[in-house]
Amino acid sequence: MSKCVSIDNFRKPVYYTMYSIITVLGLLGNGFALVVLLCTYKKKRSPFQVYMLNLVVSDLLCVCALPLRVIYYAGRNEWDLGDFLCRISSYAFYVNLYCSIFFMAAMSVTRFLAIVFPVQNIRLVTEYRARLACVVIWVFVYMVFSPYLLLGQHKDRTNKTKCFEPRFTADRKVRALSYLSLVVGFLLPFLVILVCYAGIIRTLVLRKAAKAGGAGTRGRGGEAVTRAILMIVIVMSTFLVSFMPYHVLLSVRLVNNMENWDCESKVFTKKLMVVTMCLARSNCCVDPLLYFFSGEGFLAGKSTIVRVGTEPANMSNCTSIDNFRYQVYPAMYSIITVLGLLGNGFALVVLLRTYKKSLPFQVYMLNLVVSDLLCICALPLRVIYYANQGQWDLGDFLCRVSSYAFYVNLYCSILFMAAVSVTRFLAIVFPMKNKRLVTECRTRLVCVAIWVFACTASSPFLMSGQHKDARTNKTKCFEPRNSAQSKLSALSYFSLVVGFLLPFLVILVCSAGIIRTLVLRKAAAAGGAGSRGRGGEAGTRAIRMIIIIMATFLVSFTPYHVQRSVHLDTMWNENCENFTQKLVVVTLCLATSNCCFDPLLYFSGESFCHRMSTIRGSMRQTAPARPGQDRRA
């Protein structure tokens, strides 16, 4: 029976892949939100911002604990970090989960009072009371859910030390905590949120009807309505996608005794629990959207147009949102620099310390890591520039090199991902031909070709150096002049087609071929005798690779290339649309964040765990022996 219900081959790759992605996205989103909130801190904050600040802190605490789970599931599925860290990591997840729910309920009540009772709201909802409510929420959640600290490490049937895997049906504590979480942590706050949103929608409908029947003003009231609608959409989406699936499945497991289920139902339910747990943790990535898209401070903004990356320097007819740009870029580039150095530095150390005869995948990853590190080393120059309010003092050479490094890294990342996809496609679909076609020598030649192509194709960006802004008399960098219009447009379309669309098409074709082959093999194995072994592991690695590459393209590369194409067509017509210009800033930061995603490809590779074991072994051998051991030697 234990073999029937074991889902380790499914659970391990899903957990550490998804937790890695959530960690990166959560750190980027919440780190950016925290920096903006603290940088724009004034003497008087709105209650919404007070709740958001606490929500962001809660998310960051949870995200900081996720790497412990990544280590656990990426390794031998055995906990080696002690009982204390096991309890704290489990506790952090549940505290974050229910703090998020309660803070969303508090924000919903605040918005309800602002829309339905605008006069009383001024007296009832103050910054002091919002702070008091936050303290109550923190104390309540920490105390009510403190029994989760009782769920520490334990030994399983194989005598392995386990964590994050409570014995659901056998442990009464787990069942009692599950009932508590379901009723107090989910159902009651969700009921409050539904009542508030019903009241908000009813009030808005009545106001719209009254406005249609007579005269009505819009102004700030219209902005408040927009924020209320955005908040309803984001909160309800978060509940439907993140919180509800987990709690619905939790209630099913509470009501039904799985011991009486057949094998197939048990396996399906356990796999579903893995998926819903990942969805529940994804709230760390969704929560910052509440601030970015429904917060009054973020939407209002103080100014309007950003001159960034591909923006002309003398659009004097447009107002400027330099304040927005000078806050976003230093914050995001600093976060990306730290995360990128940690991830790529760690990957580089593991690759170099275990370098013997490298597989094609490792050769591509080594080149990808080097490309990322070169780009990251240039990011501090951008941080200095934007922190200096758009004044470049580091010379023309560094200006050109910094711009050049960004585009070389961007298209090297895309092309190396395409090469990795082709290599995995050949290994899965044509395993016999793969041994003859894909060799280490040919892989190195492909890497050289990619470097030469990316460096040559991006070389026109070396022509765009520093220049004087006639309007402000500042020395500018990363902001080409109007005279570069035709050159920029040609470069943009060339980059879009050759550097993005063609590699993306190759990746889609390879991914479709891999998935089709794996589905056919699974059907054949189900219909007769089929061996799993290394073939099953290769299929799992291929699926992980597809997930990471597609997530990187959807999050980093696609928004940037779509927005840049639209922006280049409109910016020369003096388009001053606020949202479009802010979107340029956001998508450029997302494109740069690929430096944080790329190491995940290596961590999901075939020999990462093996190489980590090799490093641990070599460290034990080189570690100084204890005095007693010296005497025995």
The DSSP code for 625 is P
Percent of the chain with pLDDT over 90: 6
Distances (CA, A) of 588 to 309, 383, 564: 8, 14, 9
- 532 CB burial (10 A radius; 0-12, 13-18, 19+): exposed
Please count the other Cβ atoms lying within 10 Å of the Cβ belonging to residue 302.
12
pLDDT band per the 50, 70, 90 thresholds, residue 2: very low
The rounded distance, in Å, linking the Cα atoms of 465 and 307 is 15
Report pTM. Answer: 0.57
Residue 572: what are its φ and ψ, rounded to 5°? Answer: -80, -10
Q: Dihedral angle at the C-alpha atoms of 89, 92, 94, 95, nearest 10 degrees?
A: 160
Kindly tell me if the per-residue pLDDT of 256 is higher than 80: no
**What was the pLDDT predicted at 132?**
92
Residues 6+ apart with CB under 8 A from 283: 59, 96, 97, 100, 238, 242, 243
Distances (CA, A) of 175 to 45, 197, 268: 41, 32, 20
Q: How far is CA 385 from the centre of its chain?
A: 26
Q: Map out the domains of the chain as residue ranges.
A: 8-300, 322-612
pLDDT band per the 50, 70, 90 thresholds, residue 447: very high
Asked if 593 and 556 touch (Cβ cutoff 8 Å), the reply is: yes
Kindly tell me if the per-residue pLDDT of 266 is higher than 60: yes
**What was the pLDDT predicted at 102?**
92
Asked if 232 and 198 touch (Cβ cutoff 8 Å), the reply is: no
Residue 262: what are its φ and ψ, rounded to 5°? Answer: -75, 165
* Residue whose pair of structure tokens reads 């009505």 in the numeric block: 216
**What was the pLDDT predicted at 159?**
80
Kindly tell me if the per-residue pLDDT of 215 is higher than 70: no
The rounded distance, in Å, linking the Cα atoms of 453 and 458 is 8
pLDDT band per the 50, 70, 90 thresholds, residue 91: confident
* Residue whose pair of structure tokens reads 């639209």 in the numeric block: 566
CATH class of this structure's domain 322-612: mainly alpha
Distances (CA, A) of 165 to 8, 150, 273: 12, 13, 12
**What was the pLDDT predicted at 219?**
46
Beta strand residue intervals within 298-409, DSSP E: none
The rounded distance, in Å, linking the Cα atoms of 67 and 287 is 19
> Hey, what are 263's tokens?
């094998």
Arithmetic mean of pLDDT, 497-510: 88
> Hey, what are 279's tokens?
């969805």
Does 8-300 match 322-612 in CATH topology? yes
**What was the pLDDT predicted at 536?**
60
pLDDT tens, 171-185? 566 677 778 888 888
**Which residue has better confidence, 129 or 319?**
129
Asked if 338 and 390 touch (Cβ cutoff 8 Å), the reply is: no
**What was the pLDDT predicted at 133?**
92
CATH class of this structure's domain 8-300: mainly alpha
Distances (CA, A) of 481 to 403, 476, 562: 14, 10, 22
Arithmetic mean of pLDDT, 398-416: 88
Distances (CA, A) of 514 to 128, 364, 508, 578: 57, 19, 10, 43
Asked if 515 and 383 touch (Cβ cutoff 8 Å), the reply is: no
Arithmetic mean of pLDDT, 444-459: 89
Q: Show contacts of 150-156: CB within 8 Å, 24+ apart.
A: 150/87, 151/87, 151/90, 151/177, 152/83, 152/86, 152/87, 153/79, 153/82, 153/83, 153/86
Closest CA to 29 of 66, 6, 55: 55
**What was the pLDDT predicted at 217?**
47
Radius of gyration of the chain measured on its C-alpha atoms: 27
Kindly tell me if the per-residue pLDDT of 448 is higher than 90: yes
pLDDT band per the 50, 70, 90 thresholds, residue 431: confident
The rounded distance, in Å, linking the Cα atoms of 161 and 77 is 9
pLDDT tens, 148-175? 787 778 787 778 888 877 655 445 666 7
* Residue whose pair of structure tokens reads 């955005």 in the numeric block: 230
Kindly tell me if the per-residue pLDDT of 626 is higher than 50: no
Among 253-267, 274-288, 330-344, 482-496, the minimum mean pLDDT is found in 482-496
Q: What is the mean pLDDT of the chain?
A: 77
The rounded distance, in Å, linking the Cα atoms of 309 and 480 is 8
**What was the pLDDT predicted at 42?**
58
Closest CA to 373 of 595, 557, 549, 602: 595
Asked if 102 and 141 touch (Cβ cutoff 8 Å), the reply is: yes
